[in-house]
Amino acid sequence: MSASKPSSRESGGGALEAIRFGQSSANGTGETGDRGQGTGDTGTGNSGDKRQGTKGQETQGTGTGNSGDKRQGTKGQETQGTGTGNSGDKRQGTKGQETQGTGTGNSGDKRQGTKGQETQGTGTGNSGDKRQGTKGQETQGTGTGNSGDKRQGTKGQETQGTGTGNSGDKRQGTKGQETQGTGTGNSGDKRQGTKGQETQGTGTGNSGDKRQGTKGQETQGTGTGNSGDKRQGTKGQETQGTGTGNSGDKRQGTKGQETQGTGTGNSGDKRQGTKGQETQGTGTGNSGDKRQGTKGQETQGTGTGNSGDKRQGTKGQETQGTGTGNSGDKRTR
């Protein structure tokens, strides 16, 4: 599998998914279906595929290149240092924590059921496709280029230092912790089962598609551009900070907390069921489409541009700060 340009099946879930979400080029520019806007600010490269079941926390730092496909079963701990190349294929079963640093470009597709905590740090490019079952913690250090394919059975700890080029094939069963550092390029598709908290740092470009089951809290920093479509099941709190560009697509089942820092680009589609609180900081551009079931509180800070479409079921409180431009469409059922 080529991590720099994933197939429509891996990055978007087939031809229908590819048509729905559009395709991003290497610089983060492309068409969108469900994503509001497919033009990334400074996206470099495309994203791969990550599939996971239940996830606790995943940490992804800044990096350069595309994140490919990660599929894992249960893993003890994996640490990936700085490197040059794209991240390939990782598939995981049980995961504890995933953290993603700030980034520039588009964030791809995230689908989650119940997740413990995911933090997204700085990065440049698009975030691709991550699918997860149950995950302890994943941390990936800084790197430039593509990381290859990792598939593992039962693993205690793996540490990968700095390097230039592509990392080959790793397949894992049980994994404890994986940390992903800073990077430039696109991160693929994230689909997860159980999630506790997801935090997304500053970034430039578009955020892709996130699908989750029940979510506790999501925090999104300030941003400039358009916020895409948010659909949620059960969510605790979502906070949106500063950022530049559009917010992509997020669909969630059960999620603990997701925090998104400052970023540049578009945020895609977020779909959630029951949500506790969502706070949106300052931003410039248009806010896209938000669809929610039961929501506790949503706060929107200062921003410049148009606010898009918000659809909600039961909502506690929504606060919208100062802004310049037009407010779009809000529908509460």
Strand extents, DSSP E, 113-206: 118-122, 127-131, 137-140, 145-160, 167-174, 178-183, 187-191, 195-200, 203-204
Instruction: Please state, for a pLDDT cut of 70, what percent of the chain lies above it.
Output: 0
Q: Tell me, what's the pLDDT at 45?
A: 43
pLDDT band at 32 (very low <50, low <70, confident <90, very high): very low
Q: Tell me, what's the pLDDT at 36?
A: 37
Q: Tell me, what's the pLDDT at 82?
A: 42
Q: Tell me, what's the pLDDT at 6?
A: 41
Q: Tell me, what's the pLDDT at 128?
A: 42
Q: Tell me, what's the pLDDT at 184?
A: 40
Verdict on whether the full-model pTM lies above 0.85:
no
Beta bridge partners of 208: none
The tens digit of pLDDT for each residue in 63-87 reads: 444 444 444 444 444 444 444 444 4
The tens digit of pLDDT for each residue in 143-165 reads: 444 444 444 444 444 444 444 34
Burial of 331 (0-12, 13-18, 19+ CB in 10 A): exposed
The one-character DSSP state at 27 is: T
Summarize the confidence of residues 280-308 as an average pLDDT.
Answer: 43
Q: Tell me, what's the pLDDT at 152?
A: 40
- How far apart CA 222 and CA 281 sit, in angstroms, is 5
